[in-house]
Structure 1
Amino acid sequence: MTPLVSVVVTTYNHEAYIAKALDAILEQRCNFGVEIIVGEDRSSDGTLEVCKSFAHRHPDAIKLIVSAENVGWRKNYRRCVAAASGKYIAFCDGDDYWCDESKLQTQVDFLEANPEYGMCYTRSERVDEANQTSTTYPPQGGHEDFESMLRLNTAENCATLAKRSLVEQYYSEIRPDLHPEWLTDDLPMWLWFSANTPIHFIDRTMVVHRIFSHSVSHSTELEKRLAFSNSLSNIKLWYDEHYNHSKQRKEILRERMNTTLWVYSHIGSVGDFVRHWLTEIKENKMGVCNIVAYGLFVKKLFRKLKKLMANG
């Protein structure tokens, strides 16, 4: 059966999770053909062996793309999309999984009945790596317009289904490979969709997205979190400038400032905190009136004083 849907699964060091992701896709109940494109990026654990086993058992359903060397998440993602042949593309990273067997059928039914729409997405459940803590996302309603998505992207990658022609148009127009400072492909893609085509939120929890926890006391992890957060801000600023006449620039800069100062309230010196605050103020003068920043500064001073008193 010619596939109507291509499911793109990118995976790297997901030995503990990839089987659950692939099983959930194979268990989808559909009245159309589905192909699974698995991009295995030369994992250092047993992920490749698990993927090969699935591809051997399901040769008509799974197309396995392997790497002679690690190509990185961006190229891995792109080559899987290029290998897709379905009218629609769904995404599922190797550590996520779908929890509803009707996920694809529900989404395809909507897009087939409403051809003016380019993408739809469902509600998701967020769990930690041990499946012990879960929250529903988005906590309220999902956004369906560009300005709301710019404020908060409510579309988890594993929850989406999009027209392949539009995914290809996104890559052709935006060329995310020219933006190495963008550390994700999810946010820029769904912002582009919300700016160029109607999108639809399906208010049913049909997928599970894993959130890996890290200690907030670990400076390296905090710096990584800050780098990723700054990347999201850069993406939002770019889209705000090109599609929104920079209407949300002050709001985005304030959000970036709060995140940056929160991180430096936990790491670095008081001087580091002040220097980053002043840097943010240069881009957004209203930062001098930021109540959150003053609160974080007081907490930073309190932690410093407490440490000095403990050291006697």
Structure 2
Amino acid sequence: MSIELSVLLITYNNELHIRETLDSLVQQSCDFNFEIAVGDDKSTDKTFEIIRAYATEYPGLFNIQQNRSQLGILGNLKTTLDRCNGRLIFNFDGDDIVKSKEALQKFVDTFKQKPEIGFVDSGYDRLLNEENKIIPFSNRSSIFASKETYKNLIKLGQVIPVGMCFKKDLIYQYVDFDYYMGQNITIEDYPILVDMVMHCDFERIEESLHIYRVHSSSYSHKKSFERIYFLNNQMLKLFNHFHKKYHFSKSLVETYVETHHKSVLFNAGKYENKNAGRESFNSIKNKSIRDYIHYWASQYPIVGRLIRLKKAFYSVLKKSLGSRM
């Protein structure tokens, strides 16, 4: 049986959400054969137990493996990619949802219509898990942007790859996994996207096909300054590598560096980190009023607490007014 597309699904402690993810995948309506290739990075909860139950219920559809030891997100992705049998790779996470039953079919049809392209992006809704709020088609601006703008958004790390499909052979041809893993990079999406967009043409499906779940327990949204600071610096390291490798423009480099320092300053203020706040504030060339506020919040805890109190007050007021309408 020839596999046209592999769903590359990496998981780690997704017990609360993995059923919704798997349900959305097994319900796909396709005129081709596909597989769900799962790489579980030694979850400590019931994630892999749930996956095994689905594999038993849907024989022939799943290709699953649990790592003997934790490989990290990039190592897990590469190991799972090596087991994929499809010509196309649909990359997905164990806490997101494919909301359209025709999503995989739409990807394959796009590649058939334009066989020269290397990858296809698509729209998604953003689900704010703790607030139980959905932002419809939250990446609309990047999906409808010009190709040049879209490429720059990828270079700047401003494209979140929820619901992307790649040609497997081109991933191997252009993505330098050995370098990234040798540098102990823990981010998997940004390096793949930059390497691919610098070598391949692409298309975008102009509709929202997926739901991207944002919650505090996910790897990229863990709420600690140390984790956020670590990821920010990993991104900066990658960006510096890419701008030397691909000769990014001076204006793009300046934009990224300024945005990086502003992001660090914001979180330094939020988590009251004086050293990081001082360092990032001094590195910002064009300071705004918000930058000064975030700096004061990092140096004087009372400022940050007053800001949070103000936000909490307006949030309660908004809910109260909303309930009366």
TM over 0.5, shorter chain: yes
Task: Encode CA deviations 1:168-192: one digit per residue, 9 max, x unaligned.
Answer: 1233477321232x33110111111
Unaligned runs of 5+ residues in structure 1 are 282-286, 308-312
Identity value in percent: 19
Determine the structure 1 residue equivalent to 2:207. Answer: 204
Q: In 2, Cα distance between the equivalents of 1:271 and 1:189?
A: 33
Determine the structure 1 residue equivalent to 2:139. Answer: 138
TM-score between the two structures when normalised by the length of structure 2? 0.82
Determine the structure 2 residue equivalent to 1:39. Answer: 39
Determine the structure 2 residue equivalent to 1:310. Answer: none
CA contact (8 A) 2:272 2:301 kept: no
CA contact (8 A) 1:262 1:296 kept: yes
TM-score between the two structures when normalised by the length of structure 1? 0.85
CA contact (8 A) 1:128 1:213 kept: no
Residue among 286, 290, 303 paired with 2:287: 290
Task: Indicate whether 1:117 and 2:114 are aligned.
Answer: no
Q: SS of the counterpart of 1:265?
A: helix
> What letter is aligned with 1:42?
K
Q: CA deviation at 1:229?
A: 2.4
Q: Out of 70-79 and 268-277, give the one that drifted further.
A: 268-277
Structure 1 residues 242 and 121: alpha-carbon distance in aligned structure 2, compared to 1, 3 A threshold: same
Task: Encode CA deviations 1:49-75: one digit per residue, 9 max, x unaligned.
Answer: 111111112221101112233232222
Determine the structure 2 residue equivalent to 1:259. Answer: 263
Q: SS of the counterpart of 1:45?
A: coil
Task: Encode CA deviations 1:109-168: one digit per residue, 9 max, x unaligned.
Answer: 111110111100110111133581112321424254422322353342x31011000111
Q: In 2, Cα distance between the equivalents of 1:151 and 1:43?
A: 32
Within-5 A mapping of 1:172-191: 172=176, 175-180=179-184, 182-191=185-194
Determine the structure 2 residue equivalent to 1:150. Answer: 155
Determine the structure 2 residue equivalent to 1:240. Answer: 243
Aligned length: 294
Unaligned runs of 5+ residues in structure 2 are 306-325
Q: In 2, Cα distance between the equivalents of 1:51 and 1:102?
A: 22
Q: In 2, Cα distance between the equivalents of 1:30 and 1:73?
A: 29
Task: Indicate whether 1:249 and 2:253 are aligned.
Answer: yes
Within-5 A mapping of 1:88-103: 88-103=88-103
